[in-house]
Amino acid sequence: MGAIKKILSQRRLPDRELHNSRLFVDLSENVHIHFREIRLMFGVEEFFEFTDIIRESSKEVKKYLAKHPGYKEQEVFDGLMVAGGIKRQTTPLQKSPKPHESKYFPNRLQIELQEESVIDSIHIHFRDYRMVMNFDTFREFVSGMKEALEHLDQFLGENSYKQGEHAFRKVVNQEEWQKEKITFLDRVKHKIKKIFGIYR
């Protein structure tokens, strides 16, 4: 969850096309997870790490919901760490070349016009993610990005903005990260929430 300082652009997109309503996995030159308009790309070991975390998280979310039947979406906004807890949140990925560097295309940005036979005319590759769009959606997307950049430049020209410190910007070693990130107070808060049933 973020903490919005300023909305730089907001607009309504055209309705999603019917074929962008699927979730499936394919194994080709690497492993692809297709979810609606998004495709995620993984090396094989990266994929298994991803699915192991999702599998365990699914179990824990179901367990939490069974113990808290009154939970309602859009009413809890404080990031309950039920799926692996603080340890999962503060554990960098282990099966990539580096925790912050994926196996394939960690630095790519590429926008493509597809052949007429391809169902989605525009492909946007951002690192290991691919988004697909038709022309109408692409035009709204690009227009929104241009508007956001203009508003960002205007805001930064008129206001002071200094990025806050964050431990994970400096370290990628799991032991260093957990030592720096999880303070004694964090542990006490986590324990209290478990005692009172806020956590599982």
Q: Is residue 178 part of a domain?
A: no
Can you give the residue range of the structural domain that contains 135?
A: 16-43+104-157
CA dist 38 and 33 (Å) reads 8
- Look at residue 154 and tell me whether its pLDDT is greater than 90: yes
pLDDT at 177 over 70: no
Residue 82 lies in a domain: no
The reply to whether 90 falls in a domain is no
Contact (Cβ atoms closer than 8 angstroms) between residue 152 and residue 8: yes
Work out whether strand 31-35 and strand 23-27 pair parallel, antiparallel, or are unpaired: antiparallel
What are the pLDDT digits (tens) for 77-106?
A: 666 666 666 677 777 788 888 878 888 888
Q: Is residue 184 part of a domain?
A: no
Q: Does 182 map to a domain?
A: no
Residue 154 tokens read as: 């205007």
Q: 149 in a domain, yes or no?
A: yes
Residue 190 lies in a domain: no
Q: How far apart are CA 105 and CA 43, in angstroms?
A: 11
Q: Assess if residue 25 is contained within a domain.
A: yes
Tally of structural domains, the chain: 1
